[in-house]
Amino acid sequence: MRLLIVGSLEGHIATAGQIALKKGAKVAHVDDTPQALESLRSGQGADLVMADVSLDVGELIDALQDERISVPVIACGIGNDSRAAVDAIKAGAKEYVPLPPDPEMIAAVLAAVAEEATSFLSRDPAMARVLKLAERVAPSEASVLITGESGTGKEVMARHIHGKSKRADKPFISVNCAAIPENLLESELFGHEKGAFTGAVARRVGKFEEANGGTLLLDEISEMHPRLQAKLLRAIQEREIDRLGGSKPVKVNIRLLATSNRDLEEAVRDGSFREDLYFRLNVVNVALPPLRDRPKDVEVLAEHFTRKYAEANALPAPEIDDEALEQLKTCPWRGNVRELENTIHRAVLLAADGCITPDTILLKNAGATEATKAASGTERTAGATAGSETASSHHGDSERHGLVGRTVADVERDLILNTLEHCLGNRTHAANILGISIRTLRNKLRAYSQEGIRVPAPGEADRATA
């Protein structure tokens, strides 16, 4: 665990640092946001950032987003300052820790970050076989290709393999190849020197160097451009990389993991993925089954997410009644664990009388399995379908008429805010659905707030509309 402390923490740096060191963390300290960015650019890295609320926490988080640096941030301030805590959480901080720091709270935060990064919850025999394979190959230096549908937990599995490897105490660095434009991904992976291209205002160490000694995960590698695949292949073979604008190669020592939700063999056949790179990556294939094929995992994951989001929203953890649990187990879960997590988050917020019922989980396709079993091709079913199609047509007409006379800006605002509410205030999920960058979304939300329009904070959307 690498902890980066930003700011003075009102004079409590030494205490917080000592607590973290006793819990096994490696601690670094900088004074402000520019120094924090410089530290992270230089390859020192961090698994957690602890920021003083006297600094602009929102500015720090936005800067991390702009630099494509993915690291959780917790805010610290004197006493139980509710205003500072709310502002920090709204800005994107994961947690607020009062100062002077409580050893148990610091330990709990560090443990939570470590557990979330490496734990893989499972009870189903289908997953037991996969975990057995993963844990058998984890201590080796072999490259591992982790495959499975979107939302099955491929990155969690990668972190689990790293945690069971001989490199567990070294950095684990993840790069989402699908989320970074092709023209930026090269410098993200290999780094660049100052002046290497327009906008390269400072030298930056790439992810290969940042992961030196540890593990590098290339998430959704199937989305990487073929031109960059050739450079990646050389880096894997030679164990050295060339920074953009650099004058000499840099040696690296990494263990490589990759994920894909596409069939890479098919991608090789259609020419979008290099065959030699595929064989380099696919020394061992860990294939994650979809959630619908491991029903015993649904219950354990649902219970875990119930506790997690009850605690996150300062609510008592509700029970899941038998009918709701059965509905969860029979759902097809097209979005797999990610969809289940969002469903339980919503259910926790809507649960009444300490119980999650079918009315609170709000599954759009909850009756899909029963409907399929009951389908018999009768006239009643056909008539219902026809009626449904007619109703759908009228609904579409009314939606179109509802847009007439409105400005594009108004429609865009409603779309963004409705999507944010659907995602329970989660900015990253909303940006992905809308097809815009997180920075664009944050800028628009900031503008709406300045206009006096209420913007849901993370986790508050359903309560705000209840």
pLDDT digits (tens, 9 = 90+) for 429-443: 777 777 787 778 888
Chosen domain end from 289, 320, 354? 289
335 within 8 A of 150, measured Cβ to Cβ = yes
Q: Mean pLDDT over residues 244-264, rounded?
A: 91
Same domain? 264 vs 350: no
Across 390-394, average pLDDT? 42
Judge whether residue 371 has pLDDT over 90: no
Residue 413 lies in a domain: no
Boundary-marking domain end, from 79, 94, 117: 117
> Would you state the structure tokens that stand for residue 188, as one six-digit string?
């993200």
142 part of a folded domain:
yes
The answer, as to whether pTM is greater than 0.85, is: no
* 245 shares a domain with 151: yes
**Predicted local confidence at residue 115, as pLDDT:** 60
pLDDT in tens, 20-30: 887 777 888 89
Which residue among 243, 260, 289 closes a domain?
A: 289
Residues 20 and 93 in one domain: yes
> Does 463 fall in a domain?
no
pLDDT above 70 covers a percentage of the chain that reads: 86
**Contact between 151 and 114 (Cβ < 8 Å):** no
CATH no. for residue 355? Answer: 1.10.8.60
Report yes or no on 335 lying in a domain. Answer: yes
Tell me the per-residue pLDDT of 355-368, one tens digit each, with 9 for 90 and over. Answer: 999 888 876 554 44
Q: Are residues 162 and 274 in the same domain?
A: yes
The whole-angstrom separation of Cα 3 and Cα 347 is 33
Q: What is the CATH number of the domain that holds 49?
A: 3.40.50.2300
Residue 390 confidence (pLDDT): 41
Instruction: State the DSSP string of 141-180.
Output: ---EEEE-STTS-HHHHHHHHHHTSTTTTS-EEEEETTTS
- For 38-69, write each residue's pLDDT tens digit: 888 776 778 889 998 888 888 898 888 777 77
In a shared domain, residues 230 and 337? no
What mean pLDDT do residues 311-325 have?
Answer: 87
For residue 133, tell me if it sits in a domain: yes
pLDDT tens digit string along 134-154? 999 999 999 999 999 988 989
- For the chain, what is the domain count? 3
215 and 102: one domain? Answer: no
Residue 420 belongs to a domain? no
**187, 91: one domain:** no
In-domain check, residue 195: yes
Range of the domain at 44: 2-117
Same domain, 228 and 252: yes
Residues 302 and 270 in one domain: no
How far apart are the C-alpha atoms of 337 and 149, rounded to whole Å? 10
